[in-house]
Structure formats: structure tokens, C-alpha cells
């Protein structure tokens, strides 16, 4: 993996960033973002700008687009060099990064740049940090957790039987393949349809083990899947290979990240933070994570 210094050297100018986006976005030649064709797409005099003259697209007057059209960078007034630096910091900050920290690092303490600019850039990156890791195979652990409200400071064992959570609390469900990928998402409630549906959508049919706690929402899984339960309510945490330690490890990383780094995470943005932490976790061993991110941020 590149160091921050190497990264900044590689992307020292906006032009370098744009060339990189072109290479990742259109590996086999520039395509029109509107009609997705390469034919009749012509470069304009201004660098990194093209026009599509396909009849049913831009026609005779042409549809003009740039390297950033239909990407997370679209219409930005901030230089791409800054965007890239923030993307790098988010990729490498294991515990997450607040927009204030980003602002301090990128713009300097007294640049006068609006913190909302940094906040916006971070959120655009988070939106790009998607990518489906499922279906999960092998030994999979599933668990749900609550973010916000007063529950977040309680020990996990006290937090169990809360049901759907009270005001201000948001439920997040996650599944993790041991030593593999995690899939996590915000859910509206913790009823059987939601929990059972999530598991069936997320794990592969050939999964070897699904370990959960005794939440009744998982009770129907055993009808068709190798489901085993560890009864946290009875002080049971590990029964042979049945435990939820890996997913709980991910939750604690996530919670420490959003409590420690983000002073306030509103419900509306929680899915973006879930994206960020799952993406970073899933790319922990991927030296090309940033390149892959540039590919997905323009699709
Ligand atoms: Zn076109």
C-alpha cells in the first residue's frame, strides 16, 4: 500500500487525478456517460472534455461531458487533488475520520474553508464505498446492534432484549464470514421478516454455519439453513464453533469509530457510515482499494 507521501506524489496535480479517473473509468476507451457508447465520441479542445454525437444522444450539437460527469466529483469546486487526499485518509483511517479532522489535515487550521465542504466530500466518498460482499459462505455470524440513544454505552449483554429500540436508536444488522467479508445495513425494525430476510439474502445456500444469538427473529432459519444459537441471555458466549465474536468485533470497531471520531451521527447519514466501515473492513487486505474505489465512484 502506498504511503501518504507516495500517494501525494502520484497525485500531485489535478491533471494526474483526472488521468487516473479516465484510466479507471474507461479502461478500454472513453465512453459517453449518457448512452455508454465509444463511437462518435470526440475530444474537445479543453482537456478531459468530450462530446457525444450519436444521433439518439447528443446528435448534431453533441452531448458534452467531462471526466467528472456522473461521478461523485461532479460539479465540484474543490480540486481533485484534495478529493483524492481525503479519499486516501478515509481509506487508511482504521477508526474513521471526522470531517473536522479532514479539514484540519487538508485545508489547514486557518484556511477559512467551510467545514461543510469537507463534510460533503467525506459523504460523497462514503456513498461510493458500496460494493456487495455477498453471498457470504463458510462460517457466518449474524447479529444486530443499536446506534444512538442511551443504549450505546451499555454492555452488549444489557443491550440484548431491547426489541426494536426506543426513540433515537437505529438498528443495524450485520453478517460476517469468519476471516472474510462483512455485510451491514441499517434496518427499520428487528422483526422476523427483516432479520430472516436479511440472512437469506446475504448468505449463500451452501453456507456451513450461521451463528446468531437467541433473538426470536432468527428462529425460522434452521428450517432450511445450518443455524446454531448461542444463548447470551444465559451467559453462553462460545459453544464449540458457535459464537458471534467476529461480528461483535466489527460492531465495536464501528461504534468506537463513530463515537470517537464523529461527534454526532444522524439517522439519515448512518447508512453512509455503515458503508464506510464495512468497505474499509472488506478492503483491509486489498492494496488496490483506492483504484477500485475510483472505479465504483464513477458508475
Ligand atoms: Zn452519448
Q: Are residues 109 and 149 in the same domain?
A: no
44 and 78 share a domain? yes
On the question of pLDDT at 163 being above 70, the answer is: no
SS3 category, 289: helix
pLDDT at position 25 is: 95
Residue 1 has a pLDDT of 78
User: Could you tell me if 250 and 182 lie in one domain?
Assistant: yes
134 falls within a domain = no
Residues 52 and 117 in one domain: yes
Give the model's pLDDT for residue 106: 76
Statement to judge: residues 113 and 210 lie in one domain: no
277 or 257: which leads in pLDDT? 277
Q: Domain limits at 51?
A: 4-128+288-296
pLDDT at position 48 over 70:
yes
Rounded CA gap, 210 and 142, in Å? 7
Residues 214 and 237 both lie in one domain:
yes
Residues 67 and 104 in one domain: yes
Q: Write phi, then psi, for 209 (nearest 5 degrees).
A: -155, 135
CA of 296 to the centre of ligand 1 (A): 20
The answer to whether residue 157 is domain-embedded is yes
Judged by DSSP in three states, 218 sits in helix
pLDDT at 201: 95
Q: What is the mean pLDDT of residues 31-55?
A: 97
Task: Look at residue 274 and tell me if it is in a domain.
Answer: no
167 assigned to some structural domain: yes
* Cα–Cα distance for residue pair 7/113, rounded to 1 Å: 23
Gap from CA of 13 to ligand 1 centroid (Å): 29
Specify the number of domains making up the chain. Answer: 2
* Residue 275 within any structural domain of the chain: no
Per the model's pLDDT, the better-predicted residue between 258 and 262 turns out to be 258
154 has a pLDDT exceeding 60: no
Residues 292 and 225 in one domain: no
Which of 74-83, 127-136, 185-194 is predicted least confidently?
127-136
Residue 200 lies in a domain: yes
pLDDT of res. 264: 64
Enumerate the H helices of the chain as residue ranges.
4-10, 14-25, 80-92, 99-107, 115-128, 156-159, 192-202, 245-261, 270-282, 289-296
Q: Is the pLDDT of residue 77 over 50?
A: yes
Q: Does one domain contain both 182 and 247?
A: yes
- 49 CA distance to ligand 1 centroid (A)? 13
Res. 160 pLDDT band, cuts 50 70 90: very low
- pLDDT confidence bin for 147, thresholds 50/70/90: confident
Is 83 buried (19+), middle (13-18) or exposed (0-12) by CB count in 10 A?
A: buried
pLDDT above 70 covers a percentage of the chain that reads 89
Reference 105, options 113, 231, 180; nearest CA is 113
Nearest one of 182, 186, 76 to 86, comparing CA atoms: 76
Distance from residue 61's CA to the centre of ligand 1 (Å): 12
Task: Tell me, yes or no, whether 282 lies in a domain.
Answer: no
Q: Are residues 116 and 145 in the same domain?
A: no
In this prediction, residues 106-120 reach a mean pLDDT of 76
How far, in Å, is the centroid of ligand 1 from the Cα of 66?
A: 12
Q: Do 124 and 153 sit in the same domain of this protein?
A: no
Q: pTM for this one?
A: 0.86
Task: Note whether residue 279 is domain-resident.
Answer: no
Q: Which residues surround ligand 1, an ion (CB under 5 A)?
A: 32, 34-35, 52, 54, 57
- Return the C-alpha cell found at 50: 468530450
Is pLDDT at 162 greater than 70 in this prediction? no
The rounded distance, in Å, linking the Cα atoms of 24 and 297 is: 10
pLDDT on residue 196: 97
Same domain, yes or no, for 116 and 216?
A: no
Please report how the helices 115-128 and 80-92 are oriented relative to each other, as an axis angle in degrees rounded to 10. 60
- Ligand 1 center to residue 50 CA distance, Å? 10
For the segment 178-224, what is each residue's pLDDT rounded down to a tens digit?
999 999 999 999 999 999 999 999 999 999 999 999 999 999 999 99
For position 254, which CATH number holds? 3.30.420
Using a pLDDT cut of 90, give the percent of the chain over it: 66
Expressed in angstroms and rounded, the spacing between residue 109 Cα and the centre of ligand 1 is 43
Is pLDDT of 157 > 70?
no
Amino acid at each position: 500500500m502506498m504511503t501518504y507521501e507516495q500517494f501525494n506524489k502520484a497525485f500531485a496535480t489535478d491533471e494526474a487525478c483526472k488521468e487516473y479517473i479516465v484510466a479507471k473509468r474507461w479502461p478500454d476507451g472513453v465512453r459517453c456517460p449518457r448512452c455508454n457508447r465509444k463511437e462518435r465520441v470526440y475530444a474537445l479542445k479543453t482537456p478531459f472534455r468530450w462530446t457525444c454525437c450519436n444521433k439518439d444522444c447528443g446528435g448534431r450539437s453533441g452531448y458534452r461531458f467531462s471526466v467528472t460527469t456522473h461521478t461523485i466529483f461532479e460539479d465540484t469546486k474543490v480540486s481533485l487533488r484534495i478529493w483524492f487526499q481525503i479519499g486516501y485518509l478515509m481509506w487508511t483511517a482504521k477508526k474513521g475520520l471526522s470531517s473536522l479532522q479532514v479539514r484540519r489535515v487538508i485545508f489547514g487550521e486557518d484556511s477559512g474553508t467551510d467545514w461543510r465542504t469537507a463534510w460533503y466530500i467525506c459523504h460523497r466518498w462514503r456513498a461510493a464505498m458500496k460494493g456487495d460482499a455477498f453471498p457470504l459462505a463458510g462460517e457466518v455470524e449474524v447479529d444486530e446492534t443499536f446506534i444512538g440513544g442511551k443504549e450505546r454505552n451499555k454492555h452488549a449483554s444489557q443491550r440484548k432484549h431491547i426489541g426494536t429500540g426506543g426513540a433515537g436508536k437505529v438498528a443495524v444488522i450485520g453478517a460476517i464470514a469468519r476471516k472474510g467479508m462483512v455485510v451491514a445495513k441499517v434496518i427499520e425494525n428487528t422483526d422476523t421478516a427483516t432479520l430472516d430476510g436479511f440472512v437469506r439474502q446475504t448468505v449463500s445456500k451452501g453456507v456451513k454455519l450461521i451463528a446468531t444469538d437467541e433473538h426470536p427473529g432468527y428462529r425460522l432459519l434452521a428450517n432450511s439453513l445450518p443455524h446454531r444459537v448461542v444463548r447470551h441471555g444465559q451467559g453462553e458466549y462460545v459453544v464449540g464453533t458457535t459464537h458471534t465474536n467476529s461480528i461483535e468485533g466489527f460492531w465495536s470497531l464501528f461504534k468506537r469509530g463513530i463515537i470517537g471520531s464523529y461527534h454526532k451521527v444522524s439517522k439519515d447519514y448512518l447508512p453512509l457510515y455503515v458503508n464506510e466501515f464495512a468497505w474499509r473492513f472488506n478492503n483491509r487486505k486489498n492494496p488496490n482499494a483506492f483504484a477500485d474505489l475510483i472505479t465504483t465512484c464513477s458508475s
